[in-house]
Amino acid sequence: MSKIGFIGLGIMGRPMAGHLMDAGHELTTVKRGTLDETLASKGMQELDNPKAVAEASEIVITMVPDTPDVEEVLFGEGGVIEGLKPGTLVIDMSSIAPLATQEFAKRIQDAGGEYVDAPVSGGEGGAINAALTIMVGATPEGFERAKPLLEIMGKTITHIGDQGAGQTCKVANQIVVALTIEAVSEGLLFASKAGADVAKVRESLLGGLAQSKILDVHGERMINRTFDPGFKIKLHQKDLNLALEGARSLNLALPGTANAQQLFQACVAHGGADWDHAGIARALEQLADHEIGSR
């Protein structure tokens, strides 16, 4: 079993770390307030900073919100790189900028480590059920080292290509997810405004070509008005910013992505930064002056 440092115990990170401990690995983390009771009961140890975590670990996993957060954990004062031992495997499972990922990988490799980017999809439910989809950017050797750990946390693990390729795949994933949530919102809003039983409409659509996990999970959220996060709007906004910035550098138009970002921004303007991303429906509801499910 391995000694693993796990930095980033949020909505996703907590269950992911728990699965690794259940599999027999020893985990340390950086002290940040009160440690989750479940992880504490499983024996997770807290250390002062990322440097100390790296010194105590053969493998370091990061699961933090954004590119600057990863950079600070890895290369800031008291960062992972200061405690990195030769051969340490660093796996970043955050969703961040692909170009920055390539730079981070080079710096870790120059310091004697191995770097893998392995962002995830599947939300809180996927993390809790160890059913995440994991998109991996790595050397072949790095992928083979990381794969047994990734298989503990996820169900579909795909080696996309070299470092940065996993993050590119995740950006593409977030484009598709955002536009599909918007499409489900518009379809259910139309049905509801027209007077149909929206729950039965959703049930019917789940049996046809419109079927999707988003229609299943987030369609139900919209009907039941349950917008506590799974995955926060402000984090999906961050991912769409990566998509739109990348599109500009590629001289590429992504009009649907830009529209979804504007709807997310409308939610934020109404206090919804921490709503689940299914809350994009609320922006459309306001435009329609009609709430999904009302008759």
Per the DSSP assignment, residues forming a β-bridge with 7 are: 62
For residue 23, the surrounding DSSP H or E stretch is none
Per-position b or e across 238-269, b if 16+ CB within 10 A of its CB = bbbebbbebbeeeeeebeebeebbebbebbbe
State yes or no: is 170 an active-site residue.
Answer: yes
90: left (phi over 0), alpha (psi -120 to 50) or beta: beta
CA distances (Å), 240 to each of 132, 188, 197, 234, 293, in order?
20, 23, 33, 10, 28
Q: Which of 51, 170, 232, 234 is catalytic?
A: 170
CA 46 to chain centre: 24
Q: Are 220 and 184 in contact (CB under 8 A)?
A: no
Residues that are catalytic: 170
